[in-house]
């Protein structure tokens, strides 16, 4: 028994929002999977998660959506405004809701509970990524394992790991995330306002009376909480009525990056890439990673030598496009030259006047646009 080797298909390193869902998806496909996380407790995180239509379908199919108890808030319309153009851009989908807003910790707790029930989560297990090699003996909790594939879902901590070199675009942006209650119903509308100092997103937040919202304000300028609150009051009092802020505002560094290809690993979620939050797509792109992996498993044997590189090339295209797009939008709005303003106006007009471009944008926001698969 002491020398027994446990043979698994997949090791998932990191049981966060993406790692836990990846493992549940693999388990559902009847693959043998083990998850390790270097922390046992789930960190306290009050943030919400904008789940687009594609990601919601994924969570429904996985059987976790039905366990969400705090009322998900629909996003039926997206309003985009900026300081260059006079009228807003308005996007909605007639067929279905564009997305839902839920609490991220609630989803993580549901997914983690499932992993524990299935007995496929081990914590705390701290392994340096350097010693993780597929098809080589690995000792975890005094047991010997061999994994055919190793999936890395350690989130943004990959950026600080100098061995897993990434393409990094750090221009000192921070995101400030908080909540406010308001007198009027939010009417299931999400907003993205490009202010001179940076983009401000306001989304409906889970609540029983539809009178609570969350904001994400990103800037590389010196700011203060009172300044952020006054920007929000100025921009949203007309639509939301009287605004009362929750005391706490959380600050997060924004470090867009794409991990380089590593033949030993399959990177998923924030480990593969993170983008500027102007697109609000970060987590939803992680779900796309899981779906791409899942489709690949249906098409190729996981033992194939090409498997990791095919996965990487499929996701790299999508990730690079989003990375380039969000970085460009951010750059254009950050640098207030007349040339940039002209470019913004051209893009805006395209979205306003051409229904094909608008439809593509809506499909993209809903996760219904497959660039490659």
Ligand X SMILES: Cc1cc2nc3c(=O)[nH]c(=O)nc-3n(C[C@H](O)[C@H](O)[C@H](O)COP(=O)(O)OP(=O)(O)OC[C@H]3O[C@@H](n4cnc5c(N)ncnc54)[C@H](O)[C@@H]3O)c2cc1C
The residues binding ligand X (CB under 6 A) are 13-19, 36-39, 47-49, 104, 126, 153-155, 157, 175, 177, 216, 252, 254, 269-271, 274, 277, 282-283, 286
Kindly tell me which of 42 and 357 has the beta carbon lying closer to ligand X: 42
Minimal distance, residue 155 CB to ligand X, in Å:
2
DSSP-assigned letters across all residues of 81-97: EESS-SS-EEEE-SSS-
Cα distance between residue 241 and residue 11, in whole Å? 50
Kindly tell me which of 215 and 236 has the beta carbon lying closer to ligand X: 215
Kindly tell me which of 40 and 304 has the beta carbon lying closer to ligand X: 40
Closest Cα to residue 290, out of 332, 318, 250?
318
Name the token pair of 295: 């489709």
Q: Which residue is nearest to ligand X (CB)?
A: 16
Minimal distance, residue 39 CB to ligand X, in Å:
4
Minimal distance, residue 26 CB to ligand X, in Å:
15
CB atoms within 10 A of CB 24: 24
Cα distance between residue 277 and residue 305, in whole Å? 35
Kindly tell me which of 84 and 200 has the beta carbon lying closer to ligand X: 200
Residues 6+ apart with CB under 8 A from 280: 50, 190, 192, 201, 216, 365
Longest dimension (CA), the chain: 73
Query: How many residues in total does the chain contain?
Result: 373
Kindly tell me which of 134 and 269 has the beta carbon lying closer to ligand X: 269
Name the token pair of 89: 């851009």
CB atoms within 10 A of CB 351: 15
């Amino acid at each position: 028994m002491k020398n027994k080797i446990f043979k698994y298909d997949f090791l998932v390193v990191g049981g966060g929002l993406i790692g836990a869902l990846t493992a549940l998806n693999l388990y559902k496909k009847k693959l043998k999977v083990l998850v390790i996380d270097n922390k046992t407790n789930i960190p306290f995180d009050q943030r919400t998660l904008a789940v687009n239509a594609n990601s919601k379908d994924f969570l429904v199919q996985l059987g976790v959506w039905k366990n969400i108890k705090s009322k998900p808030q629909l996003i039926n319309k997206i309003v985009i405004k900026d300081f260059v153009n006079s009228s807003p851009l308005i996007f909605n989908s007639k067929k279905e809701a564009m997305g839902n807003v839920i609490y991220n910790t609630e989803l993580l707790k549901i997914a983690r509970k499932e992993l524990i029930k299935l007995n496929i989560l081990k914590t705390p297990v701290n392994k340096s990524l350097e010693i993780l090699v597929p098809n080589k003996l690995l000792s975890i909790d005094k047991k010997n394992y061999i994994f055919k594939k190793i999936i890395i879902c350690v989130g943004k901590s990959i950026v600080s790991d100098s061995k897993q070199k990434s393409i990094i675009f750090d221009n000192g942006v921070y995101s400030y995330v908080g909540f406010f209650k308001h007198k009027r119903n939010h009417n299931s509308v999400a907003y993205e306002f490009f202010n001179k100092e940076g983009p401000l997103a306001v989304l409906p937040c889970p609540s029983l009376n539809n009178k609570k919202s969350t904001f994400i304000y990103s800037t590389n300028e010196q700011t203060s909480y009172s300044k952020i609150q006054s920007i929000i009051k100025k921009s949203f009092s007309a639509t939301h009525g009287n605004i009362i802020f929750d005391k706490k505002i959380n600050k997060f560094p924004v470090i867009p990056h794409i991990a380089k290809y590593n033949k030993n690993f399959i990177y998923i979620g924030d480990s593969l890439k993170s983008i500027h939050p102007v697109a609000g797509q970060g987590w939803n792109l992680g779900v796309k990673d899981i779906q791409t992996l899942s489709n690949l498993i249906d098409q190729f044997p996981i033992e194939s030598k090409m498997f990791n590189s095919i996965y990487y090339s499929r996701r790299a295209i999508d990730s690079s496009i989003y990375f380039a797009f969000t970085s460009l939008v951010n750059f254009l709005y950050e640098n207030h030259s007349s040339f940039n303003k002209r470019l913004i106006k051209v893009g805006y007009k395209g979205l306003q006047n051409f229904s094909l471009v608008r439809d593509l944008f809506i499909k993209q926001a809903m996760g219904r646009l497959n660039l490659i698969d």
